[in-house]
Amino acid sequence: MAYSANIPQPADNISASQSDLLNNFQALKTYFALDHNTWDATNAGLHKQVTIPNNSGADPGAAGTTGVYYAKTVSGVVSPYFQNAVGASVLWRSASGNGLVTQTTGGTPSAGTMTLPNGVIMKWGYVAGAKNGTVISFSSAFPSNCFSVQITGQRNSVNAQGYWVQDGTLTRFGFTLISQINDSIGGLYYWAIGN
The answer as to whether 190 is a domain residue is: yes
Q: Within this chain, do residues 30 and 68 fall inside the same structural domain, yes or no? A: no
DSSP 122: E
Q: Within this chain, do residues 63 and 45 fall inside the same structural domain, yes or no? A: no
Q: Within this chain, do residues 173 and 110 fall inside the same structural domain, yes or no? A: yes
The pLDDT profile of the chain, 195 residues, written as one tens digit per residue, is: 688 888 888 888 888 888 888 998 888 888 888 899 888 888 888 988 888 888 777 777 766 777 788 888 776 777 777 777 666 665 655 445 444 444 444 445 678 888 776 778 999 988 887 778 889 999 889 999 999 999 887 766 666 567 788 888 999 999 998 877 666 667 788 999 999
The answer as to whether 76 is a domain residue is: yes
33 residue type, one letter? A
Q: Does residue 29 come out as left (phi exceeding 0), alpha (psi in the -120 to 50 range) or beta?
A: alpha
- DSSP, collapsed to helix, strand or coil, labels residue 71 as strand
Domain of 74 in residue numbering reads as 52-91
Whether the CA torsion 129, 131, 135, 138 is positive or negative: it is positive
Q: What angle do CA 107, 109, 110 make, to 5 degrees?
A: 95
